[in-house]
Amino acid sequence: MYKDIIEFLCDAEVPYIKNELLTRHTTFRIGGAADLFITPKDADSLKDVYDLCKRSGHKVYVLGRGSNVVFSDDGYKGIVISTENLSSVRIEGNTLYAECGASFTQIAVAARDASLAGLEFAYGIPGSVGGAVFMNAGAYGGQVSDCLSQSTAFDPVENKVVLTYGDDHEFGYRTSIYKKNPERIILSAEFELKPGDFDSIKATMDDFMGRRRSKQPLEYPSAGSVFKRPEGHFVGQMVEELGLKGYSVGGAQVSEKHAGFIINKGGATASNVAELIGIIKEKVNKAYNVELECEVIFVQ
């Protein structure tokens, strides 16, 4: 079925795996196997592979670090292209350049080591740079929009690379121009940072990580916060007040440590997670008249 793709991958020396389990590539550790799992070595290779997959009519999904993705229990009947090899980071002056597959924690550490301030909030966020830009990720009073100066993306519809600057990203709470144009594949990002004191930056990052460890169930697989924060409410507080802390569907459980998280206690399936999310949304809506918006992406 994928003879044309495999021939191209072999000729171009692009790594791939047949029937790769997606539990190995998502933080929730859930999902069946992908027919083909491809790991391009650079942006040009990624563009070429993606373009060929689409022209050949194959179903294709581009995956970062899988921190908010749940694949079907039946797997992905198509091709998954991973950005995990596109992870280079470099610093020139006060500008940090990162490829889409670099981890958000990785760039926070690189900035710290260069005594540059502005990315402390990113320390401990498990996603990729591409995913963080896509959703304007943030924590502890900081967010991507505070320091992102430029991003580069491949637009497969127009078959060209698109540069986006500053306010043109149309950032909002957990949204960006990329969320409005999901066909675009983020390739890289540039962050404008400020000179700072290494010890002060490190202390802030250590403080943030300490707070994460004390309040979040980092010892279990999860996708982080399940829902966006509705205006005027805190999801964890509502879920806890409804007595749902520790509530389980199969191996999926509302964390007893933080009710805004769903964790994989062991053997959780995508259907378990989806059912639990549905129960939470229904009960919160009935009790508070609040329609929760899920941040977790379910991929069939």
Catalytic residue among 174, 212, 229, 241: 174
By percentage, how much of the chain surpasses pLDDT 70?
Answer: 100
Q: Where in the chain is the domain with CATH 3.30.43.10?
A: 3-82
Concerning whether 225 is annotated as a catalytic residue, the answer is yes
Between CA 83 and CA 62 the distance in angstroms is 7
Catalytic residue among 145, 188, 225, 255: 225
> By C-alpha distance, which of 263, 166, 178 is closest to 222?
263
Burial 67-106 (b: 16+ CB within 10 A, else e): bbbbbbeebbebbbbbbbbbbebebeeeebbbbbbbbbbb
Catalytic residue among 240, 241, 275, 295: 295
Residue 264 bridge partners (DSSP):
252
Burial 151-160 (b: 16+ CB within 10 A, else e): bbbbebeeee
Q: Where in the chain is the domain with CATH 3.90.78.10?
A: 218-299
CATH for 89-201?
3.30.465.10
Half-sphere exposure of 238 (CA within 13 A, CB side): 22
- CATH class, domain 3-82, is alpha beta
User: CA 187, 109, 70 angle in degrees (round to 5)?
Assistant: 55
**pLDDT digits over 161-215, tens only?**
999 999 999 999 999 999 999 999 999 999 999 999 999 999 999 999 999 999 9
Between CA 84 and CA 129 the distance in angstroms is 11
**CA torsion angle for 37, 41, 44, 47 (degrees, to 10)?**
10
> By C-alpha distance, which of 235, 269, 239, 240 is closest to 252?
269
**pLDDT digits over 81-103, tens only?**
999 999 999 999 999 999 999 99
Pick the CATH number of 218-299 from 2.30.130.10, 3.40.50.720, 3.90.78.10, 3.30.930.10: 3.90.78.10
Concerning whether 282 is annotated as a catalytic residue, the answer is no
Element (H, E) at 80: strand 76-82
Query: CB of 204 within 8 A of CB of 242?
Result: no
Q: Residue 262: pLDDT band by 50, 70, 90 thresholds?
A: very high
Query: CB of 106 within 8 A of CB of 87?
Result: yes
C-alpha 137, offset from chain centre: 9
Between CA 299 and CA 70 the distance in angstroms is 6
What number is the average pLDDT over the span 57-79? 96
Residue 132 in 3-state DSSP?
Answer: helix
Query: CB of 71 within 8 A of CB of 26?
Result: yes
Q: Where in the chain is the domain with CATH 3.30.465.10?
A: 89-201
pLDDT score at 49: 96
Alpha helices (H) in the chain, listed in sequence order:
3-12, 43-55, 104-113, 129-135, 177-180, 198-215, 235-241, 270-288
**pLDDT digits over 234-261, tens only?**
999 999 999 999 999 999 999 999 999 9
Residue 142 in 3-state DSSP?
Answer: strand
Q: Residue 1: pLDDT band by 50, 70, 90 thresholds?
A: confident
| Rounded alpha-carbon distances, angstroms, from residue 23 to 61, 72, 248, 261, 273 | 15, 10, 20, 19, 14
- Quick one: tokens of 235? 């999801």
User: What number of helices (H) and strands (E) belong to the chain?
Assistant: 8, 19
Concerning whether 295 is annotated as a catalytic residue, the answer is yes
Half-sphere exposure of 225 (CA within 13 A, CB side): 17
pLDDT score at 171: 97
What number is the average pLDDT over the span 257-272? 97
pLDDT score at 31: 96
